[in-house]
Amino acid sequence: HAQVGFSIEEIERVENHTGLFLSKVMAEGKALLLTSQAGNKEIEPIFGCTSLIVVPLRDQEFLIAGKRVVYDAMNSDDLETLTILASQVRIAMENVAFYQQLHQERDQLQQAKKDLEEWSQVLEQRVEERTQKLQETQNQLMQAGKLAAVGQLGAGIAHELNNPLGGVLGYTQLSLEKLEQIENAGI
């Protein structure tokens, strides 16, 4: 409750005698003017004033104002003035809530940005590690390819040498057989 000099107990005592004026103000959403001249005799002994204006602000918040002077009781002009004042107070309260929400969302965005930057660094590290592993694997593949090429070259050389040597070996065996035949013949 937003109030000036009135306790909740005092407000409840007046409500018990004059009806639920706070509930009425909240239900209708409009300001209410209570005066002792209008039959609300309980206002003066409890609140010590001859007139009282109750203006809703938000939810369960009220602006309550009263006047002690009998001959200058609050009137419809005062009601209109306080209603305008209450609307300005309501706007100010909403602006404060929006401002707080804006700061909270800004803080959340800053935290999200920080989290994204950290995650980006983690991802960059992982990419770097994977790139290094791929480089090592590529180097191993190149080394294996070189060894395979050397093996193929060696096999090719061996094959190329083996073919003429096979011919030489064949002629040599043939020559040895002929020599053996010549020796056996006694020539």
With a CB cutoff of 8 Å and minimum separation 6, the contacts of 21 are: 14, 15, 32, 34, 54
Would you state the pLDDT for residue 104? 95
What does each of the 187 residues of the chain score in pLDDT, given as a tens digit? Answer: 334 555 667 666 666 655 566 666 666 777 767 666 655 555 555 556 666 677 777 665 655 555 444 445 667 787 788 778 878 887 888 888 899 999 999 999 999 999 999 999 999 999 999 999 999 999 999 999 999 999 999 988 988 888 888 888 888 999 998 888 888 887 6
- Tokens 């002792």 label which residue? 36
Burial classification of residue 60, based on how many CB atoms lie within 10 Å of its CB (0-12 exposed, 13-18 middle, 19 or more buried)? exposed
Q: What gap in Å lies between CA 26 and CA 57, rounded to an integer?
A: 9
pLDDT of residue 63: 57
pLDDT score at 41: 59
Global pTM? 0.44
Query: What span, in angstroms and rounded, lies between the C-alpha atoms of 67 and 48?
Result: 8
pLDDT at residue 149, rounded to an integer: 92
- For residue 2, the model assigns a pLDDT of 38
Using CA atoms, how far apart are residues 141 and 136, in angstroms rounded to an integer?
Answer: 9
Residue 24: CB atoms within 10 Å: 14
